Amino acid sequence: MAIDQEPVRRVAIVGGGSAGWMTAAALARFLPEGTHVTLIESDAIGTVGVGEATIPQLRLFNQHLGIDEDDFVARTGGSFKLGIEFAGWNGPNSRYLHAFGTIGRSLGLVPFHHYWLAAGGGDFPQSLWSHSACAVAAAQNRFDREPGNPQAPAGTNWAYHFDAARYAAYLRERAEAGGVERVEGRVVEVAQDGETGSIEAVTLDDGRRIAADFFIDCSGFAALLIGRMAGDRWDDWSPLLPCDRALAVPCAATQPITPYTRATARSAGWQWRIPLQGRTGNGLVYSSAHLSDDEATATLLGNLDGATLADPKPLRFTTGRRHAPWIGNCVALGLAAGFLEPLESTSIHLVQSGIARLLSFWPAATPRHADSAEFNRQSAREWLAVRDFLIAHYALNDRDEPFWQERRAMPLPDSLRERIALFEQSGRIVRDEHELFAEVAWLQLFVGQGVVATGYHPLAKALPADRCAQFLDMSTQHVAATVARMPTHDQFLRAHCPAPDAKVAA
């Protein structure tokens, strides 16, 4: 029997938010000639458009699309991000950074932090970050990459803050130049094959009918397509991540433009601060069971560092994910696939990794169930690991309000409980291949939120105490010297990627 290996030829993407245009730009770049990609979006409906902070993996996505970093940052009004500062999670004046890049240098098989623990670092937790170039640079508002070369100074890595609407517009330009056809209109009907349930076409409000072989649902929370597929099921994670509302508001930019996101714990949730060149993005994520909308508005507006530039925009959500984001000839990406709150800026990354996974399982004209099943298994593992990482921020808090007391008391998934116990007993952190967050991210979360490792790798003792102290000293000095050579973040932005409509001070 001949095997049909022909790839699908007609692809329709429904939705033109970040997810839709990221997907369109990637398909324009990687699908073979002869594939027709249509993107349908409705200006009247608009986008969520608050996705403003990212993680370093986006650099890879941009590189694959051939995007020039300076052009990208300038055109999206963006800035560089070296990590996330968590303020108040461990009590009122507590503060730590989830810094990108590395922390120290491993010796042989033994990860760096075991030497730090062996030398008594656990008694002075803040000293951990003196071994991180990103953390030290963030504290001094500095940023650099090697001149003329998008490589990091040793140990550093970075992501971006940007204006989500400009990001979608930027990608739209590239996608359209690559042959993607944009159709403006509101989808009002979805036609499915009576027997197989496959989607055949969508109909727009003006009666136009768009048929395709494969559909990508990027319609946001509406989940217009995947929500109609037989077997669609929602995994509700709200008992573990109960924040269900957000208010977003931009305010005037302040100088310096800090090269990090801030996440400040509030009485029943947390507030984000994302510095862009022309404005600062702010928002409060909260639990409606613990805080009224009026209280939330007062909290947010009372904690801004510049004049508001618009009215707060309310958003409602339920944390969770589609149990099977790929069913038949429909795959969901972005908010249509699920939502984990924006605490670690993972949504845009999950779109990116969903696109990469989709391309590696790109369907033949006759879809094969084994492909979608494996796609769904890998997605589930990735989302579960991100979910655990987010839950840990809440569970390991040290605050007094009822919301936070409840978070401390909630039963944890076994996977997370075991991970915490492992670190407490032996200082060890393990990670499986589908996990997004590396050991160094978990390390900072644990140390920053007060989990004490009572043990460490016995092989760290092979280094005599005086040599261990010398090794740690050298590591701190190396970081300090690396950062001292960096320009300020503002200087860097002005020299390499000023947004045309924003003024970055000297």
Ligand X SMILES: Cc1cc2nc3c(=O)[nH]c(=O)nc-3n(C[C@H](O)[C@H](O)[C@H](O)COP(=O)(O)OP(=O)(O)OC[C@H]3O[C@@H](n4cnc5c(N)ncnc54)[C@H](O)[C@@H]3O)c2cc1C
Q: Which residues are catalytic?
A: 81
How many whole angstroms separate alpha carbon 233 and alpha carbon 466? 58
Amino acid at 452: V
Stretch that binds ligand X, among 24-32, 42-50, 129-137, 289-297 (CB under 6 A): 42-50
Would you state the structure tokens that stand for residue 234, as one six-digit string?
């929602």
Q: In the range 89-108, which residues lie near ligand X by CB under 6 A?
A: none
How many whole angstroms separate alpha carbon 110 and alpha carbon 457? 7
Q: In the range 215-244, which residues lie near ligand X by CB under 6 A?
A: 218-220, 222, 224
Phi-psi region of 450 (alpha: psi -120 to 50; beta: other; left: phi over 0): left
Q: Which residue among 35, 37, 38, 54 contacts ligand X (CB under 6 A)?
A: 54
Which C-beta is closer to ligand X: that of 107 or that of 169?
169
Stretch that binds ligand X, among 232-240, 330-338, 363-371, 378-386 (CB under 6 A): 330-338
Q: In the range 331-360, which residues lie near ligand X by CB under 6 A?
A: 334-336, 342, 345, 347-348, 351
Q: Which residue among 35, 47, 76, 488 contacts ligand X (CB under 6 A)?
A: 47
H helical segments located in 401-464: 402-409, 414-426, 439-448
Q: Which residue among 27, 28, 52, 61 contacts ligand X (CB under 6 A)?
A: 52
**In angstroms, how far is CA 170 from the centroid of its own chain?**
19
Which C-beta is closer to ligand X: that of 61 or that of 214?
61
Q: Which residue among 12, 27, 28, 42 contacts ligand X (CB under 6 A)?
A: 42
- 43 within 8 A of 149, measured Cβ to Cβ: no
Amino acid at 67: I
In total, the chain counts a number of residues equal to 506
Which C-beta is closer to ligand X: that of 132 or that of 282?
282
Q: Which residue among 8, 11, 12, 19 contacts ligand X (CB under 6 A)?
A: 19
How many whole angstroms separate alpha carbon 195 and alpha carbon 192? 9
Provide, rounded to whole angstroms, the least separation between the CB of residue 204 and ligand X.
8
Q: Which residue among 89, 115, 237, 317 contacts ligand X (CB under 6 A)?
A: 317
Stretch that binds ligand X, among 35-43, 124-132, 148-156, 370-378 (CB under 6 A): 35-43
Would you state the structure tokens that stand for residue 442, as one six-digit string?
């978990």
- 31 within 8 A of 234, measured Cβ to Cβ: no
- 111 within 8 A of 439, measured Cβ to Cβ: yes
83 binds ligand X per the rule CB under 6 A: no
Provide, rounded to whole angstroms, the least separation between the CB of residue 39 and ligand X.
9
Query: Which among 33, 52, 45 is positioned nearest to 260, based on CA atoms?
Result: 52
Which C-beta is closer to ligand X: that of 16 or that of 363?
16
Question: In this structure, what DSSP letter does residue 254 have?
Answer: -
Q: What does residue 370 show for φ and ψ, rounded to 5 degrees?
A: -60, -35
Which C-beta is closer to ligand X: that of 48 or that of 152?
48
Stretch that binds ligand X, among 18-26, 63-71, 136-144, 353-361 (CB under 6 A): 18-26
Residue in this structure with the two tokens 């399982």, named with its chain if needed: 361
How large is the angle between the packed helices 347-360 and 18-30, nearest 10 degrees? 30
Stretch that binds ligand X, among 37-45, 373-381, 412-420, 439-447 (CB under 6 A): 37-45
Q: Which residue among 11, 16, 85, 355 contacts ligand X (CB under 6 A)?
A: 16
Residues contacting ligand X: total by CB under 6 A: 41
Amino acid at 107: L
Cross-strand bridge partners of residue 201 = 191, 211
- 197 within 8 A of 328, measured Cβ to Cβ: yes
Provide, rounded to whole angstroms, the least separation between the CB of residue 29 and ligand X.
18
Instruction: Kindly list the residues in this chain that would bind ligand X in the complex (CB under 6 A).
Output: 14-20, 40-42, 45-54, 164, 186-187, 218-220, 222, 224, 246, 248, 283, 315, 317, 334-336, 342, 345, 347-348, 351
